[in-house]
Each structure stands twice: as C-alpha cells, then as structure tokens.
Amino acid sequence: MTDSPTSPAVDLSLYPDGTSLDAAGRLLVGGCAVADVAEKYGTPAYLVDEGALRRTARSYTDAFASRHPDSLVLFASKSFPSASVIGVVSEEGCGVDAAAAGELAMALAAGADPARIVFHGNAKTDDDLLSALTAAVRYVVVDNLDDVERIARLAQEPVPVLLRVSPSLDAKTHTAMMTGHDASKFGIPSDQVADVIRRIRRESMLDLRGLHAHVGSQLLDLDQFEAAVRAVAAFERFGVYDLGGGLGVRYTSADAAPSVEDYADRLVTAVHRHLGADVELMVEPGRSMVARNGITAYRVVTVKRGVRTHVAVDGGMGDNLEVSLYGQAFQPSVVDRSGPAEIVDLVGRHCESGDELAHGVEVVSPRVGDLVTVPVTGAYCYTMSNNYNAALRPPVVFCRDGESRLAVRRETFEDLVRRECLLPGAD
C-alpha cells in the first residue's frame, strides 16, 4: 500500500508561473498560501493566479502582434466563461470569442469592446443572433445555412460575417475534442463550401469577409496547425482568416507542449506562406490561455483502503468533468506536509463510479482534512461545473501579489432552491 518512503515533490512547473513554496514548505499561488485561501473561502475552490493570467494574455498578444501586426487574439471564453476572467484578458489586449448569447452577455458585462468580439455557435437561435446584431460584434461566424437564413431575415443592415469551414482534418486528440473533420457537427464540409459562399453572396444582409477554421482542442503537434492553414488556402481566398484555437498544454510532468511563441511562429509562417502577409488574422486560444493559470483546492473527506486506496475529496465531477468526459490525466498533490508516498485513486463525492479526479497517482499518504491541489484546472472545469447531487458550484478566487479576492462567489443552497417554482407554500 505504502509504496515508497520518500515524500513525492509537488511539480511546480504544472502550477501557475511564479508558484513557490514558502520557508515552511507551504504552497504559494500568486503569492498567497493556498492553505490560507482554502481557510478563507472554503473548499473546493478554483484559484486563479491573476498575474500569471495577465502575463499569458500579454505574451499571446505580443507573440502575434510582433509577427503579424494585423492580428487579434480572441480569448475563447468557453474555456472559462466568467466575466472576471474575460475582463482580465481583455485588459491585456485580447478580444473575445463568444459562443451564443450567454458568453456574449458575459463578455459585455466584462466591458469587452464589441468591435473585438467574434460571435460563434453551431445552433444559433434567433435570440442569439439578435443579441449579436444588437451588440454590433466584429464578425458573426456562419456555421450553417440556417444561420444564413436567420441573419438575412433579422438584420437591418449588412452584417460582417466569416464562414466556418471544415479543414477536413482528423486532429490528433481525444475524439470529443475533434472538430475539423468532415463528419463534425461544426462548420461546412469542404465539398459544400463553394456552394455556401455563393448562397451567402445572394443575401444583401450578409457581408462575407473571410473564413474560420478550428481543428480541435489539446493539439500538441504544431504540424496540425500548418495543415489547417494549407487546407483553408485551398478554398477561395479572402482578406480575413480566423484560425480558431486548439494549442494543447501540459497536464502532468510527463507531458510536453509547444510554447505560445513556437505556436505563433509556426502559424504565422504558414499564414504568410499559404494565405499572404496582408490578411487580417485572428486566433482563438482557450485552454492554452487559462489552463495552467488555475488550480483547484480540495480537502480530503475520507480515505478507504482496500483493493485500491480511494481518497475522496469534497468535490469531483461537479467541478471537473475533464476526467470523465475526456479521460484527461491530472497530477494532484497532498500539499503542505511531507510523509511517505502512496499510490491512490483520487475520487469525488458524487454518486458515480466514474467520478474520479485522478487514477493511480502517487501522493503523500493522505489523511482526512489534508489539503489537496489539482493543477492545470483553469480551462473547461469552471465551464462544465454542475449541480450533480445538488452540489454547490465552487467559488473563483483571484490570487495576486499575496492578496486574494473573490471573483465568483460559491453558490448557495438558496440559489438552487430559488429556481424552484412549485415549492409547498409558493403561489
């Protein structure tokens, strides 16, 4: 059961840039002791290193602007759809990729400039489109022929649009993260693109400016981005290209991922070679913007030793669906104390056997009440948080220069009950 006498080290390279241990060995994120943040705001909690997030956003905008001045980095807000997070990256020069009316509302609440918002959705309703037209976003991305019909019917003046095309590529990633193949529900299959372009041009209320393509998410091989640019170049040429997001990140010590600089280098070089140096270029990073800048803090609730050692914490698939949805590997740690190592399954508190946060991981032999951190949870965890077992969605705490502040408060049972309309005694 106990596998090694040595205390496993926390791999700080998976944590936000600047994470350290203090003299007492306590983990500091954004200069704040995670233990203090956990004490103050409770667990589970999402911690975001605000300074590290700002640096990532700035490094993204600088990486593209220095290689291609007519570029715009749009934060894919689906990866962390909180107005507080959108506000921070906007302040660092990013625009916003907003899918449907909800993300647009978040972006506008954050003070994002509509002229730097690109509007998405594979099933946009009339209400979604009306919200985008009212806000006067930079581009609406047409995903299907029904978008064409709806925009033509709803618009009062010509709407600048991009057409989402399928680059017909099988991305090397989890099947659920592949979006650029011809069987995908997103975008127009390559053999229909020319027809759809003709169809759009028959509508006076649609002003077709360019093309959009997104291959998939968690891509670790830069060749895929170059292949997407080549595929897009095979269609009619335009002056505007939005090449989506997709850059992958490290989740465990064993992973390797390209840097933002390497990605920008490869992508811009490919754009200049295949599409031209004078195009307006957009990219939509989500995961690579936020993943490493966020961690989740939990407390151990119970330890059950048997055929396997199950360490159950006070969260789980209610705050992290990446594991059950994609089988994503995470590398948790029992922090702030040393001790013998043990191989455990870190499990959640929800009524599913699949409710696991990490399988067969080595941690300091856990005890009830221990603080557990899971790094690289900044992307798509808050996004997919849910109320399984009527659990309360965790707060988001910004940590910066040793100060913590609440960005999103924890849900309350009153929040949950307030939506119920048929309670006894209610009129």
Ligand X SMILES: Cc1ncc(COP(=O)(O)O)c(C=O)c1O
Q: Rule CB under 6 A: which residues touch ligand X?
A: 76, 78-79, 97, 120, 179, 214, 217, 244-247, 284-288
Please pick, among 32, 351, 399, 421, the residue that the annotation labels catalytic: 351
- Least distance to ligand X, CB of residue 383, Å: 10
- Least distance to ligand X, CB of residue 378, Å: 11
Give whichever of 205 and 384 is closer to ligand X, judged by the CB atom: 384
- Least distance to ligand X, CB of residue 216, Å: 7
Task: Give the phi and the psi of residue 11 in degrees, each rounded to 5.
Answer: -80, 95
- Least distance to ligand X, CB of residue 245, Å: 3
SS3 367: coil
Give whichever of 120 and 349 is closer to ligand X, judged by the CB atom: 120
Gap between the Cα atoms of 34 and 49, Å rounded: 11
Helices 100-109, 83-91: inter-axial angle, 10-degree rounding: 60
Gap between the Cα atoms of 118 and 151, Å rounded: 15
> Which residue type, as a one-letter code, is found at position 348?
G
Which element (helix H / strand E) includes 45?
strand 45-49
- Least distance to ligand X, CB of residue 401, Å: 28
SS3 187: coil
Give whichever of 247 and 300 is closer to ligand X, judged by the CB atom: 247
Q: Does residue 421 carry a catalytic annotation? A: no
Looking up tokens 């209400």, which residue turns up?
A: 127
SS3 227: helix
Give whichever of 249 and 341 is closer to ligand X, judged by the CB atom: 249
60-92 CB burial, b ≥16 within 10 A, e <16: bbbbbeebbeebbbbbbbbbbbbbbbbbbbbeb
* Half-sphere exposure of residue 175: CA atoms within 13 angstroms, side-chain side: 1
**Cα-Cα-Cα-Cα dihedral of 276, 277, 279, 285, to 10°?**
100
Give whichever of 27 and 215 is closer to ligand X, judged by the CB atom: 215
The token duo for 83 is 């107005």
- Least distance to ligand X, CB of residue 50, Å: 20
Give whichever of 12 and 326 is closer to ligand X, judged by the CB atom: 326
Contacting residues for 395 by C-beta, under 8 A, at least 6 apart? 41, 42, 45, 46, 406, 407, 408, 409, 410
Which residues participate in catalysis according to the annotation? Answer: 351
